Amino acid sequence: MKTKIIVILGPTAVGKTALSIELAKRFKGEVISGDSQQVYRGLDIGTAKVTETEQEGIPHHLLNVRDADQSYSAFDFVTEAKAAIADIHRRGRLPIIAGGTGLYIQSLLEGYHLGGQVPHEEILAYRAQLDTWSDEALFGKIAELGLDIPQINRRRAMRALEIAHLGGRLENSQPDYEALLICLDDERERLYERINQRVDHMLEAGLLEEARWLYDSYPDVQASRGIGYKEFFPYFAGQMSLEEAVARLKQNTRRFAKRQLTWFRNRMKAAFYQVGEPDCQEQIMQDIRRFLERERL
């Protein structure tokens, strides 16, 4: 029998966090973060990490599970999310995953082992090697192997090279979950305005100081490449004005939101809901009730 889970997807700033907490209160659930940046301790403002007050007493998992100088991968997420789901389900609660990192959530739902018989350290070593390659080298290798991977999709290219390099020892498995995927969306202008306002609020809350700490302490780690931090590095280096850095952050965040929606539409079987419609939340609640009342697989 597969474990039923709820997955809340959507672009940044669309309202995933608020919805996940409301669902947890109504359906006796707990929230698992599906965000690749919120795992880092000390990176709170730039990642829009839910605060203790905002959690309203709802347990949250996979927040603050890495130091800023540590790496985090889809393999790590799948491993730790599975453990959290099992724990939540065992206690009679509903697992609710909320986040915008499509690769991580897709890997969990589609049953990727992301390793098979290959030692985790070997995968990480090869992945770290690929991460140092330029796009030219990466896609040159893809072309050499005769693989058709769009050049805008670096992650997919790296995954294809991992499989080609490690061969049959990489494998997938059948997914362990029956998941209801809910993807929030909104009109572009309204979403982009919320993104711009969120950046302004982050700055008021101390984002610049948080980014400066990362720049001074760990400028070359994985976490420093996240949107919300990397845009300020040229400013700290005296290569850009603060106004230019803020404008770039807003632009990059808007573009990221667009990429997220493209991923969810093209790669994941989610039901889309327009948050601007007055009956949006009630429709989601009804769909969840029907899903939970359906006979389990």
Identify whether residues 157 and 187 lie together within a single domain: no
pLDDT of residue 297: 42
Q: Which residues carry a binding-site annotation for ATP?
A: 10-17
Asked if residues 104 and 74 have their Cβ atoms less than 8 Å apart, the reply is: yes
CATH of the domain at 11: 3.40.50.300
- The pLDDT tens digits of the residues spanning 238-271 come to 999 999 999 999 999 999 999 999 989 988 889 9
Backbone angles phi, psi at 10, to 5 degrees: 145, 165
Share of the chain above pLDDT 70, in %: 88
Structural domain range at position 130: 120-169
| Number of domains present in the structure of the chain | 2
When comparing pLDDT for 156 and 117, which is higher?
A: 156
- Of 169, 184, 199, which residue sits at a domain end? 169
pLDDT of residue 203: 98
Q: Which amino acid is at 201?
A: H
- Of 129, 150, 169, which residue sits at a domain end? 169
Asked if residues 194 and 280 have their Cβ atoms less than 8 Å apart, the reply is: no
Would you say residue 20 has pLDDT above 90? yes
Identify whether residues 93 and 196 lie together within a single domain: yes
Closest residue by Cα to residue 223 from 64, 10, 51, 12: 64
Identify whether residues 160 and 242 lie together within a single domain: no
Collapse the DSSP code of 2 into the 3-class scheme (helix H, G, I; strand E, B; otherwise coil) and give the result.
Answer: coil
Q: Rounded to an integer, what distance in angstroms lies between the CA atom of residue 221 and that of residue 250?
A: 22
Q: Which residues carry a binding-site annotation for substrate?
A: 12-17
Q: Which residues carry a binding-site annotation?
A: 10-17
- The pLDDT tens digits of the residues spanning 197-234 come to 999 999 999 999 999 999 999 999 999 999 999 999 99
Identify whether residues 48 and 190 lie together within a single domain: yes
- The pLDDT tens digits of the residues spanning 94-145 come to 999 999 999 889 889 876 555 455 565 676 678 778 878 888 888 888 788 7
Would you say residue 89 has pLDDT above 50? yes
Classify strands 3-9 and 94-98 as parallel, antiparallel or unpaired. Answer: parallel
Identify whether residues 289 and 184 lie together within a single domain: yes
- Of 131, 147, 169, which residue sits at a domain end? 169
pLDDT of residue 127: 74
Identify whether residues 96 and 202 lie together within a single domain: yes
Identify whether residues 144 and 228 lie together within a single domain: no
When comparing pLDDT for 132 and 167, which is higher?
A: 132
Q: What are the start-end ranges of the E strands in 41-165?
A: 60-61, 94-98
Identify whether residues 190 and 252 lie together within a single domain: yes
Instruction: Count other Cβ atoms within 10 Å, centred on residue 254.
Output: 18
Identify whether residues 91 and 162 lie together within a single domain: no
Identify whether residues 143 and 282 lie together within a single domain: no
- The pLDDT tens digits of the residues spanning 168-197 come to 555 555 568 999 999 999 999 999 999 999
Which residue matches tokens 């991460």? 131
Identify whether residues 101 and 181 lie together within a single domain: yes
Q: Which amino acid is at 238?
A: G
Identify whether residues 24 and 165 lie together within a single domain: no
C-alpha separations of 72 from 41, 87, 109, 160, 247 in Å: 12, 21, 18, 19, 28
Rounded (5°) CA angle 266-137-248: 60
Q: Rounded to an integer, what distance in angstroms lies between the CA atom of residue 161 and that of residue 155?
A: 10
Q: Rounded to an integer, what distance in angstroms lies between the CA atom of residue 156 and that of residue 160?
A: 6
When comparing pLDDT for 85 and 129, which is higher?
A: 85
